[in-house]
Every structure is written in C-alpha cells, then in structure tokens.
Chains A and B, each alone.
Chain A
C-alpha cells in the first residue's frame, strides 16, 4: 500500500478533521460520534432537511456536498462501510428544522438497513422521514430490474435538485417527489483502469493488468460487464454513451445535463478528451447539454478511470439544477 496516512484506523477521523479545519465556513461536526457533518450555518426554521451518507472514500461524495442548496447533514462511515444507524439518526436530528427530513442515498444493502433503522430510532422523536434511493448504474442490473442497480455519481444531481427544492421552501412531500424524479432521470456507467486500496485492507481491492480496462465496474470495485485490452478514448466514450443511450433513448430537441467524472486518479486532461467526443455525439443527435460537469465529483479512492452520468431534464429539474448552491467542492 502506498498512501499518505498516519494510522489506517484513523484515516476517516483525520480526514474529517482536516476537511473541517480547511472549510469551517461550510462544515462542522455534529454530536459526539465524530462521523456526522452538518452545515456550519443550519438551514432556516421550517425548511425540509436533506441528508445523505455512506462509506468514506468517495469525496466529494458524500460529505463534501453539505452546503447551501445541497445537503443539510451527512453521516460518514469507514472507507466503503456504511455509517451506523445511530450516526444516521444523529444526522437526521441535525437536519431537522421541523418540516421533516429526506434521506437521499445510494442503493447498497448496508446503507438501506441503517437508514431504515435510523428512521425507527427517530420515530419516537416525531421527526417525519422520507426516502429516495439512487440506483443509476446501468451496468449493475438490466433496465427491467433497475431497482437493483447500484447508486453512483447520479446522486450528485439528486443532491443538487433536492437541495434546491428544499431551499425554495417546498414541503417534504414535494421535495421527495422531485428528488425521486431526479433519481429516476439519472443513468450512469463507469470504466476502471486500475484498482483502489482500502486503507484498513492494505492491498488493492482487485487485480487488473497494466494494459487492461474493465467496463461497468462499480465504485467499490464491484465486477463490471467485461474486461479487456485498454482502448482509445473515443472508443471508450462511444461504448459508454451507447450503453447509456440504450438505457435512455433520447430524441432531437431533448435537454440533458452530463457529467464526465474522474474515479480519483484520472486527471482532468483525460476527462476533457472524453468530453470532446461526448459533445460531438450529442450534437449529432441534436440533444442540448445544459451545465456539463467535468471533474472529480464522485470518486473511488485512487482508482483510475471515469464515469459518465446522463440526466434527462424537464423544466422543473433544469430550474432546480441552475439555482444557487455552495459547498467547498462545487458552486452554482
């Protein structure tokens, strides 16, 4: 393992301490678990709370997106491990301004159980909770079984849209509805060129040849659809786009937003090489890309590779996407 760290067991705690020390205007620790991050300035009274959470190792997901017009609070577990139900319950308490709390997170077994359990724990405190689960990775299950898909980078769009709706003063039901609409509109796929290493495991999560790539790999190294020789950028982008468009056919005049995301180690230069082809393909289809996102938005430690996320917009989603938002990693 070649990582900059002190003790692998302190990895997450020390990361959070540094994050808050660097950006005290955005983040603060809530409660005594050391794993719950809330906005430095809480949302106004009567605003619906929007929370998320999951394992560490994906910055800016999840913690980074705590901010105005985004998340109110977030529970963070060890690297790639769910936070505990008690930590999530604390997160719900931190985000509650009397109007209820939306739990918005990725479709992983451990997270589902703990977010549900946390809901049971705060039920006695009269905090009303709703749930929207992101399941946007088209490589992880067929369209017919899309509720089984893993949640990946599409959650950044869902955070943004749900956060904007909550900031605009909509009630819990309305915020939940638009968050579900955003979640359903997201389609993602990833490609990995090298593995990540979980600090406490100390060795790479999977082995992959120097000249190989894996199409459709998940953000924790879950198996993808095929593994083979590394291809050229345009070929990779074409296949990823073909898979997304097979899942979500678009017609001339459609409006979308599109994210080309680094899984960690892949530099922005290579993301722009990919985006160049993406832009060309959508121009041919006469599909307009609104607010393209190119950069590190949802990572998998030091994995090299990239993911694409397509979100088909309507007027409501587009207006929420464009409303102001502010956190240490992203400003709109």
Chain B
C-alpha cells in the first residue's frame, strides 16, 4: 500500500474540513494558556493548502513543499511555522518520488519531529506537539497494513495526551502558566490529534 498524489489530495480535503469544524474548539483551549489563535492558524493554513490541492505536482516532495509554503504564507504563528518546518523536512526526503510506501511514514514523521525540535528549540517530554509526533513515530514503526497503521496512529496521539496531561507546560507562553497547565491538555497536541484522526479517516 502506498500514498500517491490522489491519496494526499483526499487527505487534504478531510483535514481542511476537520480544521473548519475544530476552529472554535482549538481557539478556546489555546486561549486558556496562550493567545487563543490556534484555530485561526490551522484553519487559515489548511484553507490555503486546500486551494493549492488541485494543482499539486505529482512529485510528492514538491507537493509537500507547496503545503509547507501555504503555512508560511498564511500566518506567523509558532505552530504554523512548526507545521511548515515539519512538512519541509519530509518534502526534502521524498523529493522525486511519486509514491510513498506506508512503511516510510514512521521515518518521515521522525524527520519532521527532529526538524521541529531544532526549530522550536524544544525537547521531548516537554508536553508539546513533539511528544505526539514521537509517539506517532514509535507506534507506526514497521507497520505495512493501512488499517493497522491508521489504528496505531490514532491510538498513539491519544496515548501521548494521556501521558502528558498531568505535567506542567515547559515552553512558549503556556510556560508562564505552568501550574495552571497541570491537568490540561496541550493545545498543540490536541490539534495534532485532530490532524491524525482526519488523515487516518477515523
């Protein structure tokens, strides 16, 4: 089973719809700890990605690059820039490929995770989207069956939220509210959960 431009376009469509749906929810949970614009970032970013979707090139590296650029254009929010950073890291790796075998997903997520760690100057275990990506990367390693992969992916981001919930925030504006953040889900991790649910079509 492999991912092609058509699979990607279908995923973009589901993801764009999910982000329209989650607009208020993401703004609200972000507002409790940050500046309350995470829904704006994701919705605006995915609208531009969806607009570009029809004209995506067959080269999946170039297609991912176009998605990254949509995020760098749409806003300057940290989360949007991190999304773009992760997408660009994956884009560089698959440049020239017109299909991606699903066994490649775990190492690609690892590349995105590492590039985002570097750009965000953050570490694992800090209750950020990086922890979701790390869990996703570990849980999808070595899986070749699409159904099994989707299930493992969705479970992993839920597990990451459960594991981190009772830790304090360590980075970004939420760090100022470290005590208050204990028991609350990190907004960036929640957004990643919604992204994975949409991409896995669950």
Residues of A within 8 A of B (CB): 77, 80-87, 89, 109-110, 112-114, 116-117, 120-121, 222-223
- B interface majority secondary structure: helix
Binds A, one of B1-9, B72-80, B149-157: B72-80
- The complex places the Cα of A259 from the Cα of B51 at a distance, in Å, of 48
Complex CA gap A47/B37 in Å reads 39
Shortest Cβ distance from B70 into A: residue:
A86
Q: How far is the CB of A74 from chain B (nearest CB, A)?
A: 14
Q: Please tell me which one of the listed residues A77, A120, A222 contacts residue B76 in the complex, with CB atoms under 8 A apart.
A: A77
Q: Is B95 an interface residue (CB 8 A)?
A: no
Those of B62-105 within 8 Å (CB) of chain A: 69, 72-78, 80-82, 84-85, 88
State A250–B167 Cα separation when bound (angstroms). 43
Instruction: Give the residues from 89 to 125 in chain B that come closer than 8 angstroms, CB to CB, to chain A.
Output: 119-121
Q: Do residues B72 and A121 form an inter-chain contact, with CB atoms below 8 A?
A: yes
Q: Mark B13-56, 1 if CB is under 8 A from A, else 0.
A: 00000000000000000000001010000000000000000000
Q: List 10 A-B contacts (CB under 8 A).
A: A82-B77, A84-B80, A85-B72, A109-B171, A110-B77, A110-B78, A110-B81, A112-B121, A113-B85, A113-B120
Chain B 126-149: CB-based contact to A (< 8 A → 1; otherwise 0): 000000000000000000000000
**When the two chains form their complex, are residues A113 and B78 in contact, meaning their CB atoms are under 8 A apart?**
yes
CB pair A117–B78 under 8 Å, yes or no, is no
Q: Which 10 A-B pairs have the closest CB atoms?
A: A82-B76, A85-B72, A84-B76, A110-B78, A113-B81, A86-B72, A86-B73, A83-B76, A77-B76, A114-B76
Supposing A86-B69, A116-B119 touch, asked if A109 and B76 sit within 8 A by C-beta, the answer is no
Q: Complex formed: what's the CA distance from A77 to B81 in Å?
A: 14
Cβ of B82: which chain A residues have Cβ within 8 Å of it? 113
Chain B interface residues (CB < 8 Å from chain A): 35, 37, 69, 72-78, 80-82, 84-85, 88, 119-121, 171-173, 176
Chain A residues contacting B80 (CB-CB under 8 Å) are 84
Give complex CA distance A243, B74 in Å: 41
Q: Identify the closest chain B residue to A81 (Cβ).
A: B76
Q: Is the CB of B72 within 8 A of A113?
A: no
Residues of B near A83 (CB, < 8 A) are: 76
B172 contact set on A, CB distance < 8 A: 109
Q: Does A117 lie within 8 Å of B77, measured CB to CB?
A: no
Indicate whether A85 sits within 8 Å of B84 (C-beta atoms), given known contacts A113-B119, A117-B72, A223-B176: yes
Cβ B77 vs Cβ A81 within 8 A? yes
Pair A117/B119 contact, Cβ less than 8 Å: yes
Q: How far is the CA of A116 from the CA of B171 in the complex (A)?
A: 18
A243 vs B121: C-alpha distance in the bound complex, in angstroms?
29
Residues on A with C-beta less than 8 A from B69 are: 86
Say which residue of A109, A110, A117 sits within 8 Å of B85 (CB atoms): A117
Closest B residue, CB atoms, query A77? B76
- For B171, the chain A residues whose CB sits under 8 A away are 109
- Specify the chain B residue showing the minimal Cβ separation from A85: B72
Closest Cβ–Cβ distance, residue B34 to chain A (whole Å): 11
* Contact A84 to B119, CB < 8 A, known contacts A113-B81, A117-B84, A117-B85: no
Q: B78 to chain A: which residues have CB within 8 Å?
A: 82, 109-110, 113
A82 to B81, CA, bound (A): 10
Nearest residue, chain B, Cβ from A55: B76
Query: Of B75, B81, B121, B176, which contacts A222 at CB under 8 A?
Result: B176
Which among A77, A83, A85, A116 has the highest number of chain B CB atoms within 10 Å? A85
**Do B176 and A87 touch (CB < 8 A)?**
no
A121 to B91, CA, bound (A): 14
Task: From B78, B82, B121, B172, name the one whose CB has the most chain A CB atoms within 10 angstroms.
Answer: B78
Tell me, in angstroms, the Cα distance from A77 to B78 when the chains sit together. Answer: 13
When distances are taken between beta carbons in the complex, the residues of chain B under 8 Å from A121 are 72
In the complex with contacts A112-B121, A113-B81, A84-B74 CB distance below 8 A: yes
| Nearest chain B CB to A246 CB, angstrom units | 24
Q: In whole angstroms, what is the CA distance A294 to B37 when docked?
A: 36
User: B residues within 8 A CB of A81?
Assistant: 35, 37, 75-77
| Complex Cα gap A5–B199 (Å) | 41
- In the complex, the chain A residue whose C-beta lies closest to that of B176 is A223
**Pairwise interchain contact A85-B176, C-beta atoms closer than 8 A:** no
**Closest residue of B by beta carbon distance from A76:** B76
Among candidates B35, B74, B81, B88, residue contacting A114 with C-beta atoms closer than 8 Å: B81
Residue of B81, B121, B176 touching A117 (CB-CB under 8 A): B81
Find out whether the CB atom of A85 lies under 8 angstroms from the CB atom of B121.
no
Min CB distance, A222 to chain B, in Å?
Answer: 7
Most buried by B among A82, A114, A121: A114
CB-defined contacts of A120 to chain B, threshold 8 Å? 88
B82 to chain A, nearest CB (A): 7
Select from chain B the residue with minimum beta-carbon distance to A121.
B72
